[in-house]
Structure 1
Amino acid sequence: MIVVGVDGSPSSLQAVRWAAEEAVRHGHPLKLVHVHQTPAGLPGGMLDPAVVGTALRAQGESRLREARETVAEVSADLRPASVLAPAPVVPVLAEESLDASLLVLGSRGLGGFTGLLIGSTAVALAGRVHCPMVVIRGDGPAEGPIVVGVDGLRDAEAAVAFAFEEVSRHHADLVAVHAWTEPVVDTVLLGHSEPLDFAPVQQRAYETLGERLAGWQEKYPDVRVVREVVRDHPSRALLRHAEGARLVVVGTRGRGGFRGLLLGSTGQHLLHHAPCPVAVVRTEPRT
């Protein structure tokens, strides 16, 4: 099942449309989820909480109705389920992700989803969802390749697997990007008069990328893979290759250039500035 967050914003409806198209492509059912909370700081005694709750439920039903109309524009055969919950956003979506194959969200929001991708909330959700999460960015559908960030961890193969499956379904090319940096070496270079030979490090980086892709090209022989090994910061490398892409895929954990990708500035930079949808695939072992 594909789950999509609904809040009535244009970005949310764009996410609904993207999710509906994926549901048709994968042959999966679709679920629309809207949550609402009573705003904090309401003047005591001036507003009846029951009245506020009734108004929020009515607003939620209206937004779900609009989302169903958007789904119908994609496919009249899709009959999405819907959830209307008076609860915090992150716990509800984390719970819904337990039985989902994909969770889809817009990059801007209204109501309960305001600030969803700002600061710690995005990090919390990325670490708690039990399925890949796609954040819809960009102005419209792209027809370019799918880009995946690849590091040296075997646990991170979940992101590679997701990317290969999506590429095969979309009949697109895959760009596998491995970015590496050596902060200690860079510091030494500041006072070093002779250039260092980075060829061995670059060769090891190519070998690492080859190891992470091993077996997947045999499983998906129809997929054309472009390998990119760059000495650069991960966010710059991924953003550069995301130009014209239809999707960029990253894991929640990384090593080397991708350490803490979705726990620090690099991950948030992607979520705020990527020119295309961003897929976050949980790569750490579940506890």
Structure 2
Amino acid sequence: MPGEGDVLAPECPGEEPVFAGVERPLHIVHALESWPYRAPLFKPAGSTERMTRVGHRLLTAARERVQERWPGLEITTALVAEETAQALRDQPDKAFELVLGSRGRGGFAGMLLGSTSLRMAARPAVPLVIVRGDAADRGEIVVGIDLLRDAGAVLEYAFESAALRDARLRVVHAWQTFGTLVEAGYAVDADQIELDLRAQTIEAYKPLRTEYPSVDAMDEIIMEHPVTALSNASRNARLLVVGAHQRHWAAPRLGSIAHGVIHHARCPVAVIPSA
């Protein structure tokens, strides 16, 4: 099982790992989904042994690849015979965050998100980073906040990520009601609304500016749908941070904003659990 503060990452060929902190160990998990071969009718001779050998080779290759770039990083691996999403849910009890790839088989190029990533994002126990787009070494950290919800955990993660990467932080609040009111014929003082929203946004992250004095933080108020605003902001970002905003009154479901963002973002997305 992972040690305290581990970063968990399933083996993901072709993806560069994204770490929130270089001091944390990395635990690489490969899930061996053997259910098609459990029925005698579909189980070729020696299939379990072959799948196990392949799984261990994948883990070894992943470990060697990471060690080439981060030779001093503490790395452990695990081969788990379980359905992928369940195997990952069983792992992060003491982890700092979970890192997944975004491979999928969707019908649209802009929505190629794997089902495992989407299922894990619906109820993350720890911060979940979905690696998609260009995992650039440069660029700013973008965090989207909802002023109607407690954004403390989301902002804390974003400020820490910016401090660790020595990156500028852009705090974005998008307000979609503006266009609706205008279309309905209401008189709207756009300038005053933007001033009020900016003041609330600055107040939300003000305590963290003291805690992270090295972080160059700026705020941006955008009068459009949050998914559109954050997806556009992600084009020049190295990481986009959003809250999960789960709905607790029914089955666990990912909030609509986070759901849209992880489908359309152009950079890795960190989904932070609701408090």
Same fold (TM over 0.5): yes
Instruction: Provide the secondary structure at the position in 2 that maps to 1:101.
Output: strand
Looking at structure 2, the residues matched to 249 and 239 of structure 1 have their Cα atoms a distance apart, in angstroms, of: 11
Aligned runs of 1:92-241 on 2, under 5 Å? Answer: 92-108=87-103, 117-118=113-114, 121-153=116-148, 155-182=150-177, 186-187=179-180, 189-190=182-183, 192=185, 196-241=188-233
Q: What displacement does 1:42 show?
A: 8.1
Whether the 8 Å CA contact 1:3–1:33 is kept in 2: the answer is: yes
Name the CA shift for 1:118/1:32 in 2 (closer, same or farther; >3 Å). Answer: closer
Label 1:41 to 1:268 Cα distance change in 2 as closer, same or farther (>3 A).
farther
CA distance in 1, matches of 2:92, 2:223: 35
Match of 2:33 in 1: 37
Pairing partner for 1:73 from 62, 68, 73: 68
TM-score (ref. length: structure 1):
0.80
Per the normalisation by structure 2, the TM-score is 0.83
Q: Percent identity of the aligned residues? A: 31
Could you tell me which residue of structure 1 aligns to residue 80 of structure 2? 85
Distance in 2, matches of 1:199 and 1:4, equals 45
CA distance in 1, matches of 2:238, 2:183: 39
Q: In structure 1, the residue corresponding to 2:91 is in which secondary structure?
A: helix
Q: Partner letter of residue 242 of structure 2? A: V
Q: Is the 1:156–1:254 Cα contact (8 Å) retained in structure 2?
A: no
- Alignment partner, residue 9 of structure 2: 4
**Counterpart residue type for residue 163 of structure 1:** A
> Residues 188, 129 of structure 1: CA spacing in aligned structure 2 closer, same or farther, 3 A cutoff?
closer
Q: Give the C-alpha shift of residue 127 in structure 1.
A: 3.7
Aligned-pair distance for 1:93?
1.4
Query: What is the distance in 1 between the residues matched to 2:94 and 2:195?
Result: 41
Letter in 1 for 2:141: I
Residue from 242, 265, 269 that aligns with 1:274: 265
Larger helix proportion of the pair: 1
- Residue 71 of structure 1: CA displacement? 1.3
Aligned to 2:87, the other structure's residue is in SS state: helix
Offset at residue 212 of structure 1 (A): 1.2
Q: Is the 8 A contact 2:124 2:272 kept in 1?
A: no
Asked if the contact 1:145–1:174 (Cα under 8 Å) also holds between the matched residues in 2, the reply is yes
1:263 matched to 2:255: yes
**Once the 2 structures are TM-superposed, how far is the Cα of residue 73 of structure 1 from its aligned partner?**
0.9
| Cα distance in 2 for residues equivalent to 1:243 and 1:73 | 29
Deviation at 1:118, TM superposition (A): 3.7
SS in 1 for 2:34: coil
Query: Which runs of 5 or more structure 1 residues have no equivalent in the other structure?
Result: none
Contact 1:98-1:129 within 8 A present in 2 as well: no
Contact 2:127–2:270, Cα closer than 8 Å, also in 1:
yes
| Per-residue deviation, 1:75 | 2.4
Q: Aligned residue pairs: how many?
A: 261
Runs of 4+ in 1 over 4 A off after TM superposition: 41-44, 185-188
The 10-residue stretch of structure 1 (271-280 or 172-181) with the greater mean CA deviation from structure 2 = 271-280
